[in-house]
Amino acid sequence: MAHVVTSVAEVPAAIQAAGRRPPCRRVLMASPGHFKVESAINPWMRDEQGELNRVDTARAAEQWRALRAAYERIAIRVDVIDAPVGLPDFCFAANQSLALPEAVVLSRMANEERRREVPYFEHWYREHGYRLLLLPDEISRFEGTGDAILHPGLRLIWGGIGPRTEEAVWHFIARETGTDVIALRLSDPRFYHLDTCLCLLDERSALWVPAAFDAASRALIEAAFTRLHAVSEADAANFACNAHCPDARHVLIQQGSSKTVAWLQQAGFVPLELDTGEFMKSGGSVFCLKQELP
């Protein structure tokens, strides 16, 4: 029976027992037509003077189109959901759901500002024939693949526990989908989602920010991966861990993380540097802007 893994001793068995998962071939992106910063719901959304960041909407649209084109160049199909008026964070398509082969788990956003996004994604999934899995009422916080990272090649989930996602959701998902979850506790408010501090590259390789996790969680990560790169403080602030490696080869990553890019190249990966600077003003980069579809 699938369960939530919390001890180092359980990690090898969970990896060995996990079934195979095909590589990502398709993503869902949400148009950035109404993207802007209207309120500060994470530490990255204000400038040095404490004012809300201002978004260049035309430049944001260019950056979004460039990311879409990068996916298509490496043979990843991109589906698009249109953004409704009045939902400025809608473009961060990682957060409203977790799309698994068994079912799509709809999120329960921690901040009131974003809760109205979920029904639009629910409608899209229903229209496209996906089975939906609704959270029980007692679970109050879950933000999709912001805190749920699929292990490359395996039917195994790494689940973040922190300000946006509560522990109880992982027991529910493990039970309902038959998928083991390795639970990690976030300990730094700057890294409020798991996808800001952990990037899985292939079955045995990952980028991470060690200081973002408590000691027990660091031990779980170290037990699972033989090639771990601790990104520098500068690269972490440049959202290097919010990269995405859909095929165990190409790594779509925010431009300017030179030390991380050098490590990726040395390790045999192909970094594709992109500018997501306008979206970083709202606390997200490449990984935040898409949802992997089964």
Cβ–Cβ under 8 Å, residues 230 and 208: yes
Residue 220's nearest CA partner among 144, 261, 161, 168 is: 161
- The verdict on whether 245 is a catalytic residue reads no
Work out the angle at residue 108's Cα, subtended by the Cα atoms of residues 293 and 5, and round it to the nearest 5 degrees: 70
Residue 67's nearest CA partner among 276, 243, 255 is: 276
Task: Report residue 158: phi and psi, to 5°.
Answer: -100, 120
Which of 24, 91, 193, 245 is an active site residue? Answer: 193
Cβ–Cβ under 8 Å, residues 217 and 261: no
Cβ–Cβ under 8 Å, residues 244 and 199: yes
Q: How far apart are CA 55 and CA 36, in angstroms?
A: 6
Q: How far apart are CA 166 and CA 252, in angstroms?
A: 28
DSSP for 199-239, written as a single string: EEEETTEEEE-GGGB-HHHHHHHHHH-SEEEE--HHHHHTT
- The verdict on whether 193 is a catalytic residue reads yes
Encoding tokens for residue 133?
């899995």
Q: Which residues participate in catalysis according to the annotation?
A: 193, 288
